Structure 1
Amino acid sequence: MKLLHTFSVTILALFLGAVLPAAHAQSNSAQDYPNKPVRILLGFPPGQATDVLARAVAVELTKNLGHQFFVDNRPGAAGIIATEMAIKAEPDGYTLLATSSGPLAVNPALYTKLPYNVSRDLAMVSGLGIVPYAVVVNTKSPIKDIGGLIEAAKANPGKLNYGSGGSGVTNHLATESFKIAAGINMQHVPYKGGPAAISDLIGGQIDVMFETLAGTISLIKDNRLRPIAVSSIARTGVLPDVPTISESGVSGFSAVPWVAMAAPAKVPRAIIEKLNSEINKILNSAEIRTRFQSLGTEPMVMSPDQLTEYLKAETTKWAVAVKASGAKVD
C-alpha cells in the first residue's frame, strides 16, 4: 500500500510539474504581451477606410502598450491575400489582421473556392468602425432624395445606372439589396476600384452610387457630390441633415460595411481579451471618437463574443445580397 501511495504521489507531482508551468506561461503570455513589435496585416491599399482606421488604432496601441504596432498593407484579391497570410502566421498574437465585412462576411458567399474558413481559421478580436454608405449623385442631377431616385427608376426601368468598385464588392451588393427592397431596376456599371467610379459620377457618366462616407465626405463638403441618403439605420453626426434610406420610405433598410481586428484562430484567449480591452478603451476615447466621426465612422465597440455573433448575422445577410446579384468568383 505504501509503495502504491508513493507511486501515486510521484505521478501527481509529475502531472502538476508539467501542467502548472504551462498554465503559468499561458497567463504570463498575456501579462507580458506584447514584448516585441506587432504586425497588423491589411488587405487593402493605404488610404482606404480599413487602412485609415487601423492606422489610427495602431498608433494608440503603440503608445499604450509600449511596443510598436505597425500596419503591413498586402492588397489584392479582395482581401484574400492578407487573410491567408494571417491564418498561416504563428498564433502568438504578434500577427493580427485588420479587415472588413468584405473578406469576412461577403467572400464566403461570393467565392466558390476560398483558401480560408472564417469561423475555423480566425478569432475575432475587436470591432474598429462601422462605415455607412452615402447614396450620392452628381450635383446637377435632378434626383434630390431617395423618393426621387425610386420614382425615376420606376419610370425608366433598367435605364438608370449605378457605379461600384467592382462586381461583388460591398457597395455593389448593398445597391443590389436596395434595389430589391425598393422594387426597382437599375443597371450596374462595375469599375476597378471606387475612385474611378466616383470620378465618372462627378462627370455625369453614371447616375448614382453607394460609397463610404469616409471616401465621399470631402467631395460632399466641396459640393462636388450631393448626398441623398445614408445607408445606416440612424443618421450620422457628420451629415445630420441627410436622412437614412429607412426613413426615406424603404423602412428598415440598412447596409453598412464595417472594419474589425482578427487574429489566427489559436492565439491564446487571454491575449485576445487583452487586445479587445485595449482597443475598446481607444475607441471610447474622446480623441478617437471625434476623429472617426469626422469621417462618418462610428466606433465599433464589442467584445470578441459579440463580434463573433455579429459576424454570423452579417454573413447570412450578405449571402442574400450575393445571391440576388448573381455575382460569383472562381
Structure 2
Amino acid sequence: MEDRRRLLKALAACAMPGVAGTALATPASAQPWPVKPIRMVVPFPAGSSPDLIARLLTEKLAAALGQAVVVENRPGAGGNIGTGMVARAAPDGYTLLLTINGPLVTAPTLSRHLGYDPVRQLAPVSLVATSPNVLVVDARLPVHDVREFVALARSRPGVLNYGSVGNGSAAHLAMEQLKAAAGIDLQHIPYPGFAQITTAMVGGQVQAGFMVPVIAMPLVTAGKLRIIAVTTSGRTSLLPAVPTVAESGYPGFEAISWQAVLAPAGTPAPVIDRLYRELVAIIGSEDVRAKMRAQYFVPAGTAPQSLRQTMASEKVRWDKVIRAAGVQPE
C-alpha cells in the first residue's frame, strides 16, 4: 500500500506545473529546426563574389529547409566585421556565414585587434566553391603579360597602385607574393569590395589587382581591363588560354580563392549536419554546378571536418607567404 501511495504522488507531481513536469515534457515539446527565417551573413558588399554565391545557394536552401534564408551584407575591414558578428551570434542555427578565406585564415595573423577567433568561435559547415584569381591591369597600360607588367613596375617604383578588399585578403596577399618574388614596388589601396576596385581601375586611380574572374570578365569584355595571368598552379579549364603566374617566370606561385559556409560555434550538431547535407546536395545539382562554372567558380561541397582541415592547412601556407613578403599586422 505504501508503495502504491508513493507511485500516485510521483504521478501527480509529474502532472503538476514545475520542474518534474517540465523535464518530462521537454523532449515532446521541443520545436524542430528551423521554425523561423535564417540569415546568411555575407561580410562583403552586394555584387561581390561571396554575395553571388550566397544568392545562388539561398533560394534552394530555403526550399530544402522550408524557411526563408535571407542574405545580409555586412561589409568592412576585409570581411572581418561581418565575420566577427557571426562569431558572436547566438548558436541557434538561425545565423550563418558565407565568406572567403581571408577572414578565416589570414586575418588572425594580420589583425592585432581582430575581435574573434575563427577556430574557437566558428563551426565549419561546408566548403562551397573555389576560384582562381586573375591578375588584371588597366587596359590603357602598355602591358600584355606578367613580364611586361613587372618591367613597367620596375621602371616606375612606387608609382603604380593596386587594389584589394583589405589587409590579408587573397587579392592583397597574392600581390604581395608577386611583389616579393619579382622585386617590384607597388602601392596598396584597400577598398570595401571589388566593385569599388573596378570603379577605381576604370577611373585610373588603380592600375592593377588580383580578383576573381566573375568580377573582372565584364570589364575585360568591355575592353576596360586586361587579364594577363591566372593564379592556379596549372592552367585552369575556366580560362584555358590565360597563362599562369607560375609559368610566367615565378614557379610555385599559387593563390586560390575559396568560399565556405560556417555557423557560430556551439550550433547544435544536428543543425550543422542538416545544413552540410543540404548544401552538398544543392552544390551537386546540375543547374547549380552549371551556374557556378558560368560565373567562373569550381563547385566544391565538403564535410565540416574537411573544411576545418582546409582552414588549418591554408593558415600554415599563408603564414609563410606573409612572413616572406614582410606583410605587417595592422
State the TM-score, normalizing by the size of structure 2. Answer: 0.83
Q: Could you list the runs of 5+ residues in structure 1 that have no partner in the other structure?
A: 1-16
Structure 2 counterpart SS, 1:71: strand
Counterpart of 1:328 in structure 2 is 329
Counterpart of 1:161 in structure 2 is 160
Counterpart of 1:142 in structure 2 is 142
2:164 is aligned with what amino acid?
A: G
**Residues 1:36 and 1:281: Cα distance change in structure 2 (over 3 Å):** same
Counterpart of 2:257 in structure 1 is 257
Structure 1 counterpart SS, 2:75: coil
**Residues 1:203 and 1:46: Cα distance change in structure 2 (over 3 Å):** closer
What is the 5 A alignment of 1:35-74? 35-74=35-74
Is the 8 Å Cα contact of residues 162 and 208 (structure 1) preserved in structure 2?
A: yes
**Residues 1:107 and 1:179: Cα distance change in structure 2 (over 3 Å):** same
Identity of aligned residues (%): 32
Task: Describe the superposition over 1:86-108 as per-residue Cα deviations: whole angstroms up to 9, x where unpaired.
Answer: 22322221211112212111210
Counterpart of 2:10 in structure 1 is none
* Displacement of 1:196: 4.1
Is the 8 Å Cα contact of residues 129 and 258 (structure 2) preserved in structure 1?
A: yes
Counterpart of 2:191 in structure 1 is 192
* Displacement of 1:21: 8.2
1:254 is aligned with what amino acid?
A: E
Is the 8 Å Cα contact of residues 110 and 168 (structure 2) preserved in structure 1?
A: no
Counterpart of 1:183 in structure 2 is 182
Structure 2 counterpart SS, 1:257: strand
How many Å separate the matches in 1 of 2:68 and 2:166?
37
How many Å separate the matches in 1 of 2:25 and 2:239?
53
RMSD: 3.0
How many Å separate the matches in 1 of 2:25 and 2:265?
19
Is the 8 Å Cα contact of residues 168 and 327 (structure 1) preserved in structure 2?
A: no
Counterpart of 1:288 in structure 2 is 288
Structure 2 counterpart SS, 1:233: coil
State the TM-score, normalizing by the size of structure 1. Answer: 0.83
Q: Could you list the runs of 5+ residues in structure 2 that have no partner in the other structure?
A: 1-19
Is the 8 Å Cα contact of residues 128 and 299 (structure 1) preserved in structure 2?
A: yes
How many Å separate the matches in 1 of 2:137 and 2:230?
12
Is the 8 Å Cα contact of residues 158 and 187 (structure 2) preserved in structure 1?
A: no
1:326 is aligned with what amino acid?
A: V
**Residues 1:235 and 1:328: Cα distance change in structure 2 (over 3 Å):** same
Equivalences, count: 309
What is the 5 A alignment of 1:1-330? 32-154=32-154, 156=155, 158=157, 161-165=160-164, 168-170=167-169, 171-180=171-180, 182-193=181-192, 194-323=194-323, 324-329=325-330
1:82 is aligned with what amino acid?
A: G
* Displacement of 1:190: 0.7
* Displacement of 1:311: 0.5
Structure 2 counterpart SS, 1:227: strand
**Residues 1:125 and 1:166: Cα distance change in structure 2 (over 3 Å):** closer
Task: Describe the superposition over 1:160-180 as per-residue Cα deviations: whole angstroms up to 9, x where unpaired.
Answer: 624113551421211011222
**Residues 1:199 and 1:97: Cα distance change in structure 2 (over 3 Å):** closer
How many Å separate the matches in 2 of 1:21 and 1:213?
56
1:161 is aligned with what amino acid?
A: L
Structure 2 counterpart SS, 1:301: coil
**Residues 1:225 and 1:78: Cα distance change in structure 2 (over 3 Å):** closer
**Residues 1:46 and 1:206: Cα distance change in structure 2 (over 3 Å):** closer
Task: Describe the superposition over 1:31-78 as per-residue Cα deviations: whole angstroms up to 9, x where unpaired.
Answer: x43333212122222111111111111111012222111112222233
Is the 8 Å Cα contact of residues 168 and 322 (structure 1) preserved in structure 2?
A: no
Structure 2 counterpart SS, 1:45: coil
**Residues 1:166 and 1:64: Cα distance change in structure 2 (over 3 Å):** closer
* Displacement of 1:24: 7.1
**Residues 1:173 and 1:23: Cα distance change in structure 2 (over 3 Å):** farther
